[in-house]
Amino acid sequence: MIKNLKKTDKIELNLGNPKHGWLQIEFKHIEFELNFNASAVPKIPTDLLCECLISILKGLEAKMYWFLEPGYYLFEFIPNGETIDILIASSNDSTSKQKEIYKISGSYDSIILPMYRSLKKFNTIELNELDWKKINSEKLNKLAELVNEKKRV
């Protein structure tokens, strides 16, 4: 089922305070809500999300995993003209087939901006490097540059 976002139907992404390599994630869209704890192993998903947003702003498809050990949530981003589709799938472990659980289609303002703002806010949190690493500053600066370019257009 594809949900076409209205101007007021922005997604909401809340990134918690990481502890011992785990980060609480809350993803909301209208009646859909996904709450889980993501692992920093094998890759830090906040960096992966930043990389995905950079790719999308360049017009490229991208996907990222929120690792749950042993399972995962997959977020696949597909630019489609003026809209962006997000396909969300899950798997209980690395060998099980993933199952699509939600699909959204929306604008830059309703999808990219809320995620970008969540990443920016997350990077202002005082982090213990043993719990989680901050988002790579070069990547976050590149994302900010692309967001600002998009605003000027």
- Each residue's pLDDT, cut to its tens digit, for the chain (153 residues) gives 444 544 458 999 999 999 999 999 999 999 999 999 999 999 999 999 999 999 999 999 999 999 998 899 999 999 998 899 999 999 998 777 899 999 999 999 999 999 999 999 999 999 888 889 999 999 999 999 999 998 776
pLDDT value of position 1: 46
What pLDDT, on the 0 to 100 scale, is given for residue 19? 94
User: What burial letters (b/e) apply to 14-50, b meaning 16+ CB within 10 Å?
Assistant: ebeebeeebbebebebeeeebebbbbbeeebbbbbbb
pLDDT at residue number 94: 73
**Residue 5's pLDDT is what?**
45
pLDDT of residue 91: 94
Residue 34: what pLDDT? 97
Do residues 47 and 62 make contact, with C-beta atoms less than 8 angstroms apart?
no
- Which tokens in the block code for residue 139? 């990547």
Q: Is the pTM of this model over 0.95?
A: no
Torsion of CA 56, 33, 27, 92, to 10 degrees: -80
